[in-house]
Homo-oligomer: A and B are copies of this chain.
């Protein structure tokens, strides 16, 4: 059969075209579990700061799969053998790598299920799909879980310091946020990627593209992912859920939360012993809309604290974030609490200590642009010599930039200035 009818083409502002092979890949894309990702924003609350960053995890998943195709084709051109089954398995693993994300992913991850990480859910969903599809995902799961020692580079494409996930989301997020400084030249990275002794390496002529990639990642953390207003919006959302759980614990009616969300809020499931079937099924019903719909109605809740927090959220009257010079001391914490209580009192809101805790929060942000121990990026300096990026020529100074950055901050009401 003519190959050209075996593909479907989607347009994509990031990669131009996304070519989807018909068969299992297209079936998976149209599966409700993957379609669910259309209703989960890639950047969570980031759209509150970057108005056009409204793109979903679905378009990221498609984009990553397209990159996987380009990379695998490119590796084949460089004489690395990749069988059709391995090709397809890798595509599936990349397509599904984030399928376990829940609503407002990172923000709420720990609020719905205890002892939980979204990778666990991804694997649970992949296994469920595999059962539905009679084992068609066997190889994909082995690659995803790094149980395919024959070709370790396939797993590295899915999870490493230079994985396809990062390549697509950095590029995609920098375009949709229009943060020029975070833009990555993925085309050159793709062109200079190759397999050396079973592992992914970058040819020497790609070294500056890697430097740029690491620095861009650093800037995206600084400017976007850990943006002051994003931090404060995240905290507001978490406090809304903290309040809701407390209200539920005290027997208050939730007033119009979505049924699936209600399941999680009432049952507080845990993933300590794996993910129960009933939890999985409810989880697969959840998406961002459950959260937004609930907040919309909680604006009119009887509880004045919940209502106030949700009204703030709807009108973008967020808290302020103030970065601190060091770990906050008891006196500062006391000061912020008292100022908060005073403002709440003036606004006729509950203002005891317990109430105040919903209106401020001390925390610290953490970012790490590149981790070179154990899992670094390797540069093929000469025909038979690969060195870890931080040890390559011309790059030593870069490493200073990749040390983890920890910044303490406090989120608080705009009515007062923490530093005065």
Q: CB within 8 Å of B: which residues of A?
A: 2-4, 9-14, 16-18, 30-32, 35, 38-39, 47, 50-52, 54-56, 58-59, 62, 77-79, 175-181, 183, 185, 187-188, 191, 194, 203, 205, 208-209, 211-212, 215, 219, 222-223, 256, 258-259, 285, 289-290, 292-293, 296-297, 314-317, 394, 397-398, 400-401, 403, 405
Question: Is A2 in contact with B185, judged by CB distance below 8 angstroms?
Answer: no
A16→B188 CA distance, assembly (Å): 9
Chain B residues contacting A215 (CB-CB under 8 Å) are 212, 215
Q: What are 30 inter-chain pairs, A to B, with CB distance below 8 A?
A: A2-B79, A4-B78, A4-B79, A4-B203, A9-B205, A10-B50, A10-B51, A11-B51, A11-B178, A12-B52, A13-B175, A13-B178, A30-B315, A31-B315, A38-B54, A51-B59, A181-B185, A181-B209, A181-B211, A183-B183, A208-B223, A211-B219, A258-B293, A259-B297, A289-B293, A293-B293, A397-B400, A397-B401, A400-B400, A400-B401
Chain B residues contacting A316 (CB-CB under 8 Å) are 30, 35
A78→B398 CA distance, assembly (Å): 36
A10→B188 CA distance, assembly (Å): 11
Closest B residue to A299 by beta carbon equals B32
* Smallest beta-carbon distance A32→chain B, Å: 5
Q: Top 7 nearest A-B pairs by Cβ distance?
A: A180-B185, A11-B178, A181-B212, A289-B289, A4-B78, A397-B400, A13-B178
Question: Is B208 in contact with A219, judged by CB distance below 8 angstroms?
Answer: yes
* Smallest beta-carbon distance A130→chain B, Å: 18
Question: Is A56 in contact with B54, judged by CB distance below 8 angstroms?
Answer: yes
Chain B residues contacting A178 (CB-CB under 8 Å) are 11-13, 16-17
Query: How many copies are assembled?
Result: 4
Question: Is A191 in contact with B17, judged by CB distance below 8 angstroms?
Answer: yes
* Smallest beta-carbon distance A118→chain B, Å: 20
Chain B residues contacting A397 (CB-CB under 8 Å) are 400-401, 403
Chain B residues contacting A180 (CB-CB under 8 Å) are 183, 185, 187-188, 209, 212
A47→B55 CA distance, assembly (Å): 10
Closest B residue to A191 by beta carbon equals B17
Question: Is B292 in contact with A296, judged by CB distance below 8 angstroms?
Answer: no
A325→B219 CA distance, assembly (Å): 32
Chain B residues contacting A212 (CB-CB under 8 Å) are 180-181, 215, 219
A4→B190 CA distance, assembly (Å): 13
Chain B residues contacting A2 (CB-CB under 8 Å) are 78-79
Chain B residues contacting A219 (CB-CB under 8 Å) are 208, 211-212
Chain B residues contacting A17 (CB-CB under 8 Å) are 178, 187-188, 191
Question: Is B314 in contact with A32, judged by CB distance below 8 angstroms?
Answer: yes
* Smallest beta-carbon distance A348→chain B, Å: 20
Closest B residue to A313 by beta carbon equals B35
A178→B10 CA distance, assembly (Å): 9
A296→B38 CA distance, assembly (Å): 13
* Smallest beta-carbon distance A186→chain B, Å: 9
A51→B16 CA distance, assembly (Å): 12
Closest B residue to A176 by beta carbon equals B13
Chain B residues contacting A10 (CB-CB under 8 Å) are 50-51
Question: Is A4 in contact with B315, judged by CB distance below 8 angstroms?
Answer: no
A116→B31 CA distance, assembly (Å): 36
A292→B39 CA distance, assembly (Å): 9
